[in-house]
Structure 1
Amino acid sequence: MASPASLWETFATAFTQANVPTVTWVEMLLSVAAAVGLSIPRRSWRYFGLLATVTHELGHAFAALTSGQRLSGIRLRLDHSGTTTTYSRSRLAAAWSCFWGYPVPALAGAAFVWCGLNGWGPAAMAVSALVLAATLLFLRNLAGFVITGAAIGGAGSLTFLAPPPAVGHVAVIFGLALLVAAVRDLLKLTHVHLRRRDRLSSSDAYLLYRATSVPSGIWIGLFTLLVAGAWLVAWQPISVILLQGA
């Protein structure tokens, strides 16, 4: 059994840059396929979608804290829905925290891809474990603890047990899966506004409209621009690797 000192050394080492993994175009294609396999099929989305929801709600929570709001609690549900409750006297601050739910999974995905391809995969996993551990303080339901606890276990296991090159590959796959999930959620949001308007009360774009009088379509467009920008950042190094096989 590893000693506390050994575990701490392993954890601290995760925050240093590892050797940049050599990723062939075949490995990258497999990574893309794995990411799609996590975030597109209904069976795998049933589980991976929970992580996308966690990231979405953390986007709201982080934006609330950075704008001086009081974060009351986060609830995560097994049907992929979530609620982040904040208190603010400022409409602008409330709109700020409401806005960042949809873009953050894509931004986090791009960050994971970059970290994985540049030797910072272990650091990305270690930071994720710390952020998720801090989130436990704000969770307000059992499902939230189960989902977040499982995510902490996965990130922690990779940090402590997996070799850095393997963690780098996992970071790339996870990042790509989050990017795909961000597009999937945007399409679902757009569908709600076009075809399922009876569900508008659950739409961040609609809530932003209520708070600012700016039409929901403008907010969806801004979400889309940020998600597209995250894809562009992530895809540049990926395309270079894929072109090696051309």
Structure 2
Amino acid sequence: MEIIDRWWQAVLAGFGGSAQFVPTLWPLLGLLALCLLLTVPRACWRIFGLYVTFVHELGHAFAALLTGRFVHGLKIRLDHSGELVSSGKPGFSAVFSGFWGYPAPAVVGAGLVAATSFGHGSAALSIGALLLLVSLLFLRNAVGIAVALCSALAAQLLVVFTPVAATSWVVLGLGMMLLVGSVRDLFKVIGVHTRRRELVASSDAYLLATRSWLPAWFWLAGFTVVIGGSVAFSVWRLWETLA
């Protein structure tokens, strides 16, 4: 089909080379302001937060596959909660896969920022589009499938229709939004452990504490280190690009 061939050629074109990305300060600040506007207000977060949850659960799934676990499927709910079902040996693999949920959006966001700063925004967009298509295999509930389909469709449309000159800015914006979303979710999970204790049983940090001899605060600190490091790395890369 012509439309599929056009899409595939656009995906391949993303790997065809790199384009130097040399932003200036004010456009970068303007993009950051736009990203905050699309992620911080509650009305916007109800929508974009579902995508952040999707990346969160994919982080669990990828970490599970890396340690030899079998992923049966994942679910996403409208309240931004999610669930990954995997099987394998208890111990390290269960703890490792359980950790890489909250940090995943931050790591992916930092990767998109880095890819853009090195001139590989188009390749990052193509890789993301393909990974989102593959992720459809793991969804097991209607909301999750809808979120994955919308995310995958948006990624494919961006690959096909984004002008070459705008690709770096689109990928950079998505990376910034994921970083903001990861920080927002970090504050949320810390709040569960400090102010909303009735919800603590659903926290990844609590679940990790039950699977290991380390307390929940240790895992919260781990989330903070990885997310904070991702944000710091992204700021440094953008500063180097400006310089």
Q: TM-score range by the shorter chain?
A: over 0.9
Residue in 2 that maps onto 1:78: 78
Residues in 1 aligned to 2:161 and 2:83: alpha-carbon distance in whole angstroms: 33
For residues 77 and 176 of structure 1, the distance between their equivalents in structure 2, rounded to whole angstroms, comes to 24
Gaps in structure 2 of 5+ consecutive residues: none
Aligned to 2:103: 103
Cα contact 1:18–1:164 (8 A) shared by 2:
no
Contact 1:15 1:122 (8 Å CA) reproduced? yes
**What letter corresponds to residue 102 of structure 2 in structure 1?**
Y
1:137 and 1:208 mapped to 2: Cα distance?
26
Give the alignment's TM-score, normalised by structure 2.
Answer: 0.94
Supply the RMSD in Å over aligned alpha carbons: 1.6
2:219 maps to what in 1?
219
The percent identity for this pair of structures is: 37
Closer/same/farther in 2, CA of residues 81 and 4 from structure 1, 3 Å limit:
closer
Q: Assess, with a 3 A threshold, how the Cα gap between structure 1 residues 108 and 77 changes in structure 2: closer, same or farther.
A: same
How far apart are residue 43 of structure 1 and its match? 1.1
Letter in 2 for 1:138: F
Whichever residue aligns with residue 40 of structure 2, its letter is: I
2:5 equivalent to 1:23: no
Aligned CA distance change for structure 1 residues 10 and 215 (closer, same or farther; 3 Å): same
Q: Match of 2:119?
A: 119
Given the two structures, how large is their TM-score scaled by the length of structure 1?
A: 0.93
Task: Tell me the CA shift for residue 9 of structure 1.
Answer: 2.5
AA paired with 1:158? L
Q: Deviations over 1:150-191 (max 9, x none)?
A: 111111111111122312101111111111111111111111
Q: Report the count of equivalent residues.
A: 243
Residue equivalent to 1:46? 46
Matched with 1:185 is: 185
Partner AA of 1:8 in structure 2: W
Q: What amino acid does structure 2 have at the position aligned with 1:28? A: L
- After TM superposition, give the deviation of residue 37 of structure 1 in Å: 1.2
Q: Distance in 1 between matches of 2:143 and 2:51?
A: 12
Contact 1:28/1:241 (<8 A) preserved: no
Which residues of structure 1 form unaligned runs of 5+?
A: none
Specify the code of the residue in structure 1 equivalent to 2:212: T
